[in-house]
Structure 1
């Protein structure tokens, strides 16, 4: 019934949308000409066929003066043959010496003169490939999905070149038709536009008027037509790889024994493949993938009761995954598929995904991944087993047995299936199912009662099923919209029961439900607004294969915004936003979990520098997650903050930005008020187009309300306020020899300490009576809870694309942590990296070779 209601609502919305004003790009038709002879992609346009191609020069400004004539002339030509689409853009410039030709690694977001091509070959007005080349010849690509969401994760193998010419520069593209999905037709008509950035003027031009004020991109594109007798190509791509790695690591797992060290060599063989099953359906897969070239996650200090969300960086899980993203984009409140659940603890044996269009207007996606691997729980570290082993659970990996993980590798199968159906020209409805299935037997109550380090592997599994219906309904111009999701979950496998942070008991087979909705005016000049509501039952658990920050919560919110993205008076852009919300539990107690508001405003100055300010507060409520998974509500501490944000124009040789924030934690019973703050500053220097240095510093001081220390029994809890300081220094260095040969270095030094005390006792009862700060009673206790952490991560990557799509990586990584503080000694209250050089270190050198073959 729910799905039927959703489809009916979508059809009604589509009828309303079809009556809306037609987007300005819909009436533009540009024609491509068939190439007469071969085309060499070199940025020179010296073939005769380019001289005969139709020329379009009717570009308009997209920013900063939307709809106005551009400051420089731009010429567009489009050719095609049976294998490629060729695009040439001649960018005239009255001051060619000022053209920004900054260099960077492929897919880097360079602030430079550049040209972007947007292609919607299925003509569904929702999805568009983006191909970019800058004046230095650096390529990047990405994908628009859901009409307005953009992802840089999509990658394809295509060619481009940039070349100088008198009074400007030329961008030349060759995009293989095998890379694109398009239907069979006598004459192809695709969504299409081309954008040009003139960096020194912060000017953006486009072939169609597609202003920043709209809440749509793909549905506002113009059209490319005239391509006759093109046949969709069932391409096959194979990318085998060979990786050799050696790791130097401490022999003992005890951090107090950093020496001696062992050298563990290993080798991996793997394969990535892509196969076009039909003109609109592609199968992509990987066997024994290796992601050694991927940068490590940023080190952070998370002392909250909530899991941190980290972005996906692994190529297989970033490419072509836009269909699996939740409504509203990544990081939504209830995400059914979070790919980082796969393969971070247990190696991936193999994975495959099927994506494409089954009938016009209906997209499908199917992903399946199997994780498994060898491990040893009982290891003799005094006499390590140096025998080289080959294991059936990881047959394409060879390495010494002493390097096997000691934590159990839980075999799991992950499945995600999604379908999206287009409604009208700008809306869609869909649904998703995910399954995280343990490939183990059941866990008995007796096994679950053992200590975790003794439990059999089947008790360590965290499986679950989830399903959702979602919708994204918009007027045709994208200004008004209604989007959201309704979802449900079921617990599978693992221990018979476990307790969540808020005291909810989750048993095998338990189900939960939830959802979220947003409705309002999301586009247009001037005032915008939206209403939102998030709901999750106590037993909604999407985290087996998705990401859900919390459950047992009902959280309505309101946003009021004033947006002038095309400028206001002397300002190049201006925005003001007010947001307010509250939340309470859904377990029948309706415990207020707190209310909040914030107001922020920012402006882009005539110099294209940005300044902004934000104020806000968290008021009232109770924390039901803090006290040892009992669900006893502990009073929240009220706070207010002020932040200042500055970002300078990136077009300068040296640029900087960041924010400074100060907040006030108010009186919390016996705990006095306190000031805290954050400083995040970065600076980037480009002394040469091929060199870039970026330094970032982050300082944080947080004064926590009384935190849980120990459960004393009889509903009594030991609590203590906590003061933490942390610092992160990050250095990034880049040297670009050529756009296809780059050297990058990344280093992060992270330090933090925490100081507890004094100590208090809070008392509740069997009815889980709330604990007020004013009721806390001081107690005497020796402080053994302070901590001091220091860590260093270093990553150096040499990347050489020695032929189109084929790469050679040489990667060096270093990870080190401080030597442990001696028993009985109080950790230092300092951000200095004391003890780091004496601590345990891991060094790894990886050489990875891959070869691209396509037909």
Structure 2
């Protein structure tokens, strides 16, 4: 696929600097490539790029399975006018080999196991992703299912972490997940999954618990409840960037990061109710609460490094002003660097989103839809997790209600 966008120099420069591209990175080595020029050019009036996805594999026949995939987006690839593209500038390659046993025995009804690896490079040649992954799926004789996933991400470069700044190194990551679900044919199906993650090279941690149930109290009613609890700790969460001519290694900027602890609770609820073959009701609701608390603000010791220097411990001084809810950092103490301030990034957010869809087929092929969308939210600049308080805060927010009508009519013979 080839893309091309055009506009004023200001519009194209804004596109180049967007989070999809980050053409302004000071350490980019990309040069002109004719039609697919990858230089940051504030006078350009167009931007071209290309993308490619291909897969070859063996998906049936015998026990052995395999696949090889490639996914490429050039730095100038831009299709956000038509769809959603979060990033470009990557060449991703993935390969897996697997075994599939589908003839039931006394130990299983089926087994699927796979192992593979993936790697990714940007157009500067930096390896930005490298991992090994494995999967094991086991269906027991009673139709229960077991799922086990293991992933190891290696330490790699990251050209996006500083959000337009120089390349730094991202810590590796070990991830494991175990899930089990009961017989999907039953009127009550239960599922639970536990995920654990640990950083390699920093103190990043992840824990997620996702129980769930699907109920069929009657042949025409389906209810699904999917609660989730996440506890995450990230040692390199971007906070802000400030100008500092003394930060020569980072091209005159300081990129501030923080150690963040986040807690997230949500409950996805779905109900499908078929009153008659011609009249149905679908409901979806999601209460959501998340908090984030920052500490140990820091910066990378140097470009292309994984080491970080914590303000007040390894570098300069830091203080907090409660009256203004802001931090003041003097990055080199008595040195020439000017102090700077930034606001307290702690947060708690709570929201409730819901949708109801009533469908009535009033004659064959002709349908009437009534859709109601409800949303309300609340924000508090406090990072401590208070489930009860945040739950009550949901209903303090001003609701937004949107009603939509749609009707179709079949022009038949």
Distance 1:546 1:603, change over 3 A: same
CA distance in 2, matches of 1:599, 1:739: 43
Task: Provide the residue aligned with 2:184 in structure 1.
Answer: 650
Structure 1: 5+ residue stretches without partners:
1-486
CA distance in 2, matches of 1:509, 1:848: 39
Q: Which has the higher strand share?
A: 2
Distance 1:720 1:838, change over 3 A: same
Q: Is the 8 A contact 2:128 2:156 kept in 1?
A: yes
2:361 to 801, 825, 830: 801
Q: Is the 8 A contact 1:752 1:831 kept in 2?
A: no
**Shift, 1:607, TM fit:** 1.2
Structure 2: 5+ residue stretches without partners:
24-39, 244-251, 320-326, 328-342
2:401 to 843, 846, 851: 843
Deviations 1:789-846 (A, max 9, x none): 111112233222121112233333321112x43xxx6344234424211111112444
Q: Is the 8 A contact 1:536 1:586 kept in 2?
A: no
Distance 1:515 1:744, change over 3 A: closer
CA distance in 2, matches of 1:854, 1:534: 44
Task: Provide the residue aligned with 2:237 in structure 1.
Answer: 707
CA distance in 2, matches of 1:827, 1:704: 14
**Shift, 1:585, TM fit:** 1.5
Q: Number of residues paired by the alignment?
A: 354
Distance 1:546 1:747, change over 3 A: closer
Distance 1:829 1:492, change over 3 A: same
Task: Provide the residue aligned with 1:497 in structure 2.
Answer: 13
Q: Is the 8 A contact 2:348 2:382 kept in 1?
A: no
Q: Is the 8 A contact 2:91 2:120 kept in 1?
A: yes
Task: Provide the residue aligned with 1:721 in structure 2.
Answer: 259
**Shift, 1:847, TM fit:** 4.9
CA distance in 2, matches of 1:802, 1:735: 17
CA distance in 2, matches of 1:815, 1:708: 29
**Shift, 1:584, TM fit:** 1.8
TM-score (norm 1): 0.39
CA distance in 1, matches of 2:152, 2:55: 23
Q: Is the 8 A contact 2:171 2:306 kept in 1?
A: no
Q: Looking at CA atoms only, which structure, 1 or 2, has the larger radius of gyration?
A: 1
Task: Provide the residue aligned with 2:206 in structure 1.
Answer: 676
Deviations 1:310-368 (A, max 9, x none): xxxxxxxxxxxxxxxxxxxxxxxxxxxxxxxxxxxxxxxxxxxxxxxxxxxxxxxxxxx
CA distance in 1, matches of 2:222, 2:399: 28
Q: Is the 8 A contact 1:680 1:699 kept in 2?
A: yes
**Shift, 1:620, TM fit:** 0.8
2:112 to 553, 562, 575: 575
Deviations 1:526-571 (A, max 9, x none): 1112223333322222333244443222222221111124445542
2:65 to 511, 519, 528: 528
Q: Is the 8 A contact 1:665 1:703 kept in 2?
A: no
CA distance in 2, matches of 1:718, 1:812: 42
Distance 1:751 1:560, change over 3 A: same
Task: Provide the residue aligned with 2:376 in structure 1.
Answer: 816
CA distance in 1, matches of 2:156, 2:405: 53
| Equivalent position SS for 2:171 | coil
**Shift, 1:849, TM fit:** 4.1
Q: Is the 8 A contact 1:726 1:751 kept in 2?
A: yes
**Shift, 1:598, TM fit:** 1.1
- 5 Å matches for 1:243-642? 487-493=1-7, 495-498=11-14, 499-501=17-19, 503-504=22-23, 505=40, 507-567=44-104, 570-587=107-124, 590-630=125-165, 632-642=166-176
Task: Provide the residue aligned with 2:35 in structure 1.
Answer: none
TM-score (norm 2): 0.78
| Equivalent position SS for 2:345 | coil
Higher relative contact order (CA 8 A, sep 6+): 1
